[in-house]
Amino acid sequence: MSKALIRVDSAVKGTYGYADPEYVATGELTKKYDVYSFGAVLLEILCGRLVIDRGLEKDQIDLTEWARKCIEDGTIYGIIDPYLKGKIAPECFGKIVEITYSCISLEGRDRPTMGEVEVTLELALELQ
């Protein structure tokens, strides 16, 4: 049977903070679901914290929302894990932030493919 003909119907499931907001809203699973989740994991690595931390101030609980705002405001460096500060070349850091921001886009059509993520992260490593 063609994979294009297979459709999965089930209740919306996913871990809060990692689940694609479009999937949560519509229940429609796409290839971009994993891209969003991967972006959340990239943020955890960059920021040295979990994607959801209920012990923080309200605007900082959801790391994807907080980081998105910080990237848009140009203050992302302020929330990076202190251990990483000064250890990542600025060009490398810029590429990582760029692809991470794309991954956590609220709309799937604005997210890259996993192949594009891979290529961009490989470029970032070359810049390190």
Amino acid letter for position 85: K
CA atoms within 13 Å, Cβ hemisphere of 57? 3
Angle between helices 114-127 and 32-47 (to 10 degrees): 30
End-to-end CA distance of the chain, in Å?
45
Model confidence, pTM: 0.86
Residue position matching structure tokens 């991954």: 103
% of the chain surpassing 90 pLDDT: 74
Q: What is the pLDDT of residue 11?
A: 59
Q: Which tens digits make up the pLDDT trace of 30-77? A: 889 899 999 999 999 999 999 999 999 999 999 999 999 999 999 999
% of the chain surpassing 70 pLDDT: 89
Token pair recorded at residue 26: 């519509």
* Nearest Cα residue to 122 out of 88, 86, 96, 100: 96
